[in-house]
Each structure stands twice: as structure tokens, then as C-alpha cells.
Amino acid sequence: MTSVRIEGKNLAGAHLYFSGGGISVKSLTVAGDLLTAELNVESGARLGPHEVRIATLKGVSNGARFWVDLYPNQVLEKPMAEGAPPVALEAATPMVVNGRIAVKAGRDRFVLTAAAGETWVFDCFADRIRSRFDPVLELRDENGVSLRLVESTWESDPRFCYRFAKAGRYSLTVRDSEYNGGSNYTYRLLVGRMPFVSGFSPRGGRPGQSVQLAVQGTNLPMSSTTVSIPADAAPGTYWAEMPMGAGSTTLLPMMVGPEPVLAAGDAETGRALSTLPVAVDGVFLHAPTARFSFHATPKTRILFDLLGRRIGSRIDGEIRVLNAEGKEVAENDDAPSLGKDARLEFAPPAEGEYTVEVRNVEEITGPDCYYRLMASPVEPDYRLSIATDRLNAPQGGTVTLPINLERLGGFNGPVEVRVEGLPAGVTTTGGVIGAGKSSVEITLTAAPNAAFSAADVHILGSAVVGGKTVQREAPGWERYEHRSIDLLLSVEYSYTRPFHLWDLLLLAVTERNAPITLSTSGTSLDLAQGGKVEIPVHVVRDPSAKDEIKLEVRGLPAKVTASAPPIPANQTEGKIVLTAAPDAAPDLTNIIIQGTHAKSTALAPAIRLSLRKN
């Protein structure tokens, strides 16, 4: 049994939700701003991060990560006072210390005893558990002389190994880089004599594949190993167990996808991309540049996507394409919305031999300068995205969910959108993105008698692409503030990185928050060019909601107008009339009716409007 404590606000009636399975809540108590829960972590629970959120009648909380591993855990129950004695770290067994820097200028201090020749590992988890903390680790000898000072780089976490030249007592300090602190400045410190992987290649493989890895690090019993990716592993990150001997195991984040993987290692030149698509996994171990040859014709455009910061590497990536004479014909550094990563769509000007060059602009090398180069033909496809990581639907109310569509490779068809896994009493309407369009607002409506509940939902798109039905999912998305780094970077165009993608997308039924509820008689309408159509509007008022209700229509197509007189005070019925001009272009879109009562607004479920030729 594992105990967890969570601090927050509005925790009354809280329920805990975890992703990944294997974790169940046995008991949960709330006392003011503190939630305490007893968890059962099954022996077969997936190792690595599990997302966790709270849901109450007030809504869904921000997300955090609960880490499952094989090491004993120690919790620092209270913030460490400056004059308190340091916490002793034992060498016999690697351990995880769970702590928090609760106040500004706070620091946690530890003491350890090492023998001459011992190598210890110090690995601080902060970004990996979605903490606000930006840690700095400093190791000193018994005379106070600083031996190592390590801090994060570009939103990564500090980790290092140290070989002690002589026996003695040493101290370790953990603090924030800007001496900040607070309730969300938490960390997990993995420390002790243990195997330590500083780099590995390739970075992943396909579902059901056994992958031969070359590994670099300290205290490793081997320089290569094999890990297996389950056949049912979903695309994304799979945390694979790497046996380290003597019953020890470490976790490696393996990228899972359908593409074959070319393990380039630290090779600088000489590899050919003979077939596409392919994922090229390499590392700038000795030189900051690598080149790969390929044959191309003007008939096929090629997308090169260099993953660096997005997968935890420290590289600032650049892509160049060179022709047979070595002349640059295409280049990208810092692609829009990708921060320091590069992406390039290459249109070959002529048939021939080309070279794609990937480079770390900072010219830094080492095992933490790894990359994945995705190379694939540009084919019709699409991606869905949302700009939220949680959803709330009030009892008796309707909320909108904007969904964005990125069209790839000339795909221009319609996309049907649905939400799977909705809680009981919640429905969705308006799920279509018309041909040529890039977004849609769908609505989520909770019945007035819907019981409080929350569920992990999935927003799925379905479209016919190249004669086949292709399904895509929009993950939860959260933009967050930079951690404790130079704030000038926040306004640099190339540093727009800070967002997280979440697997656990909770939708909660929440308490009613508006004095009126709007509804219409249907969820679809046909409107002909030059024609008119009436939309009856019904309102349910709370006893205190007696004032006039102003109506408006959102999302009207061009050359379609709405007559929307207000619903008079104390009345419950209204009418909206849509009129299409004779030359209004055919369209398929969602419209949403909004009512405003005093300072409150309410929405009716989306209506799919089909504007057709007369």
C-alpha cells in the first residue's frame, strides 16, 4: 500500500483518476486543502509515469505524474528548515527521495558516506513529473569544496554520475535555479550506487519488435542489450525495462511507431535512406553533424522532421538538403511551433541524388545529444488537435470544444469528429469539419439530472483518405509557463516550446453554473440559397432568472444572416430566422446559439447547418 498526499483548493468530494492501469484507490480523505489517499499499486503495474488528476463538482484539476518504479521511496514529510540536520543517504540500496522546496530560497540538504573509487548516480526528476521546480544539484566534500554543480538545460532535468577519489563524508544540496519555491516545487531524487544509462540508440521501434540497443553510461554490466516492445504498445512513448544484472532494472523511454528504424549511432556519413518512410535514430557523440543520402524525383515531396527537444535531447536541430554538387537546396532551423526542433518539406527540383544533413547548431556533442530524423513521403493525411487538457460540462448546460485540423499532403476532404467514453448523461453534437475547413466547434451537453462523474474520453476523427478510412486522435494539450529560466527566452520566437501532451483527458460533470438553459428542436438544418429557415429556441429559467434574454448566432456562413429578437422577460420561447443570399456559397458548418441573461451566458447544442444550392 502506498500513501499519497495532495495539496490544493476546492477538494471537497474529490475523486482520483490515474492513467495506465494497475493503480487503484483504496481510501481517500479530504481535510480542507489536503487530500490523503491510500493506493494499491499492483505488481504488474506499468513502470514509469502514470498521469493523475482530481475531479470534483467544481471540475477537473491540472495534471501531475505518479511514478512507478522498483526502488524504495523515502518521503520528506516536512519542508527542511535551514538549521535542521541534513538527511542521510544510505549507500547499500539505491533509493528515491520525494521532496519539495516549499519556500523561496529553500533548499534540501543530504549527507552521504562514500568509499574511495565508488561511483554514485544522482538523478533529479522535476520536468518528468510535471513539476514547476527547476532543480540545481551541488555536491561538496567535507571541507565545503564544490565538486559538481549540475542544473537543467532547456526544460530537462539534471542528472550526473560522480566517482569519489577518496573515502569520506559528502553533502548534496537540492535547490531551485532561481531560488523559488512553493507547493508545486516537487521533485524525486534517485540516488545511490547503481547502473546509469546516459544514452542509448536506437531510440525505439515498432510494436511487437525486439530492439537491439547500444547503451552508454556508468556501472553498466553490458554495452548492448535487447528490449522488447509489446505488440499492443500504442504509438508514443513506451517505458521499457532494461535488465541491469543482480535483479536491478532501469527504465528507457522507447518511441513506438509503425515506421522501420535505422540505427545510425554516431555515424557522420555513409548511410543511405533507401526506402521511405523511415525513422533514423542517431546521436552526436563525437561530431555535431550527420549526413544521409537518398534518391528523389520531382514527383515525390519528402517531409523531414528532426526530433530533439521534443524527445528530451539537448540539441538545437537544423536540417539542410544538398544536391549532388554539395549545394544547399533547402534548409530549416527552428520550425514554427516546434521551438528548437526543425522540420522541412522538400520538393526535389530534379531527379537525382541528394543528401540530408542534420546538425546541432550549438555544436555540442555527447550522449545527451541524440535525435530522431523522420523521413517520409508527403501523402494526404491530417492531424487533430485541441487547446485544452481537461473538460467540464455543467449539469443542464452546454459548453463548446474547438477542434483544429491540420491538413497534410493535399488532403481536402471532410472529417467526422466524435467523442468516445462520455460520462452518463453527456452528449455531443456538431461533429463534422467540412471539406477544405480547418476547425470546428462541437458542443458537449450534460443533462439537468446527470450525476456527478468523470471519465477518460477520446476525441477521434475519421476521414476517407486515398480510398481508406483513416482515424486520428486529438490528445490533451496544455501550454505551461516556463520554469525558472531566463524570461527573455519567453519572447524569443524560436522558444515557444512549453506545452505538454497528456494521455489522460478527463471530462467531468460539474455543478450547474448558469441560471438559464437553452435548447432547440433539432441538431441539423438545411438551408437553400435565397431561402429562409426558422429555429425555435426554448429556455428553462431558474426562479430568479426573469429578465430579457438576448440571442445571437455564432459561426454563420458568409452571406447568411440571422434575425434573433430577444426572448422577453418571463417568457420561455423564442425564434431565430436564418436567411441565405441567393449567391451564398454551399457550405457545411456548425452554428451555435448563445443566450445572455444579465451577466450570465448559456449555449444551445450545436446545429449542423447545410447550405445547399437552390
pLDDT at 514 over 50: yes
| Confidence class for position 155, pLDDT limits 50, 70, 90 | low
Give the DSSP H/E element, type plus range, for residue 507: strand 506-510
Mean pLDDT score, 271-291: 94
Query: In this structure, are 266 and 252 located in the same domain?
Result: no
Task: Provide the pLDDT for residue 492.
Answer: 47
Range of the domain at 571: 516-612
Mean pLDDT score, 244-265: 86
Query: In this structure, are 238 and 152 located in the same domain?
Result: no
> Which CATH number belongs to the domain containing residue 353 in this structure?
2.60.120.380
Give the DSSP H/E element, type plus range, for residue 354: strand 352-360
**Alpha carbons 472 and 462: distance in angstroms, whole number:** 7
* Number of domains, the chain: 6
Query: In this structure, are 537 and 596 located in the same domain?
Result: yes
Q: Report the alpha-carbon angle 278-293-288, nearest 5.
A: 90
**Alpha carbons 212 and 117: distance in angstroms, whole number:** 31
pLDDT at 364 over 70: yes
Query: In this structure, are 536 and 603 located in the same domain?
Result: yes
Neighbours of 357 (CB within 10 A): 17
* Percent of the residues in the chain that have a pLDDT greater than 70, as a whole number: 95
Query: In this structure, are 407 and 503 located in the same domain?
Result: yes
pLDDT at 579 over 80: yes
Q: Could you tell me if 135 and 100 are in contact, meaning their C-beta atoms sit under 8 angstroms apart?
A: no
Among 510, 531, 554, where does a domain finish?
A: 510
**Alpha carbons 507 and 317: distance in angstroms, whole number:** 37
- Return the half-sphere exposure (C-beta side, CA atoms, 13 A cut-off) of residue 356: 30
**How far are the Cα atoms of 152, 203, 351, 368 from residue 297, in angstroms, in the given order?**
43, 30, 4, 35
Q: From its phi and psi, is residue 299 left (phi > 0), alpha (psi between -120 and 50) or beta?
A: alpha
Q: From its phi and psi, is residue 334 left (phi > 0), alpha (psi between -120 and 50) or beta?
A: left
**How far are the Cα atoms of 32, 96, 126, 186 from residue 100, in angstroms, in the given order?**
20, 13, 10, 4
Query: In this structure, are 150 and 210 located in the same domain?
Result: no
Among 491, 510, 529, where does a domain finish?
A: 510
pLDDT at 479 over 80: no
pLDDT at 493 over 50: no
Mean pLDDT score, 367-390: 94
Task: Provide the pLDDT for residue 483.
Answer: 60
pLDDT at 527 over 80: yes
**Alpha carbons 473 and 243: distance in angstroms, whole number:** 33
- Torsion angle defined by CA atoms of residues 96, 98, 103 and 108, in that order, rounded to the nearest 10 degrees: -30
> Which CATH number belongs to the domain containing residue 13 in this structure?
2.60.40
Q: How far apart are the first and last CA of the chain?
A: 68
Summarised one tens digit per residue, pLDDT across range 48-73 is 899 999 999 999 999 999 999 888 89
Q: Which position has the grid cell 475547413?
A: 437
pLDDT at 369 over 50: yes
Task: Provide the pLDDT for residue 429.
Answer: 94
**CB neighbour class for 481 (10 Å; exposed up to 12, middle 13-18, buried from 19):** exposed
Query: In this structure, are 208 and 190 located in the same domain?
Result: no
SS3 488: helix
Comparing CA positions, the residue from 329, 320, 327 lying closest to residue 358 is 320
- pTM for this one? 0.88
| Confidence class for position 236, pLDDT limits 50, 70, 90 | confident
pLDDT at 153 over 70: no
**Alpha carbons 212 and 564: distance in angstroms, whole number:** 66
Indicate the range of 87-91, 242-246, 449-453, 461-465 predicted with least confidence: 242-246
Summarised one tens digit per residue, pLDDT across range 210-225 is 999 998 888 888 888 8
Kindly state the cell numbers that stand for 256: 513506438
Query: In this structure, are 310 and 225 located in the same domain?
Result: no
DSSP string, 98-146: EEE--STT-EEEEEEEE-TT-EEEEEEESGGGT-S--EEEEEE-TT--E
Among 226, 256, 286, where does a domain finish?
A: 256
Rounded to 5 degrees, φ, ψ at 128 are -70, -20
Indicate the range of 312-316, 392-396, 507-511, 545-549 predicted with least confidence: 312-316
Mean pLDDT score, 318-339: 92
Arithmetic mean of pLDDT over the chain:
91
Query: How many residues does the structure list for the chain?
Result: 614
| Confidence class for position 91, pLDDT limits 50, 70, 90 | low
Query: In this structure, are 506 and 521 located in the same domain?
Result: no
Query: In this structure, are 387 and 503 located in the same domain?
Result: yes
Summarised one tens digit per residue, pLDDT across range 119-148 is 999 999 998 898 989 999 999 999 999 999
Summarised one tens digit per residue, pLDDT across range 451-474 is 999 999 999 999 999 999 999 999
Query: In this structure, are 294 and 352 located in the same domain?
Result: yes
Indicate the range of 243-247, 452-456, 558-562, 608-612 predicted with least confidence: 243-247
**Alpha carbons 86 and 272: distance in angstroms, whole number:** 55
Task: Provide the pLDDT for residue 498.
Answer: 60
CA 6 from centroid of its chain's CA atoms: 22
- Quote the DSSP letter at residue 173: E
| Confidence class for position 490, pLDDT limits 50, 70, 90 | very low
| Confidence class for position 80, pLDDT limits 50, 70, 90 | confident
What is the b/e burial string over 2-27, where b = at least 16 CB atoms within 10 angstroms of the residue's CB?
eebebebeebeebebbbbbeebeeee
Query: In this structure, are 294 and 335 located in the same domain?
Result: yes
> Which CATH number belongs to the domain containing residue 554 in this structure?
2.60.40.10
Summarised one tens digit per residue, pLDDT across range 4-38 is 999 999 999 999 999 988 999 999 999 999 999 99
Neighbours of 219 (CB within 10 A): 18
> Which CATH number belongs to the domain containing residue 427 in this structure?
2.60.40.2410
| Confidence class for position 404, pLDDT limits 50, 70, 90 | very high
| Confidence class for position 251, pLDDT limits 50, 70, 90 | confident
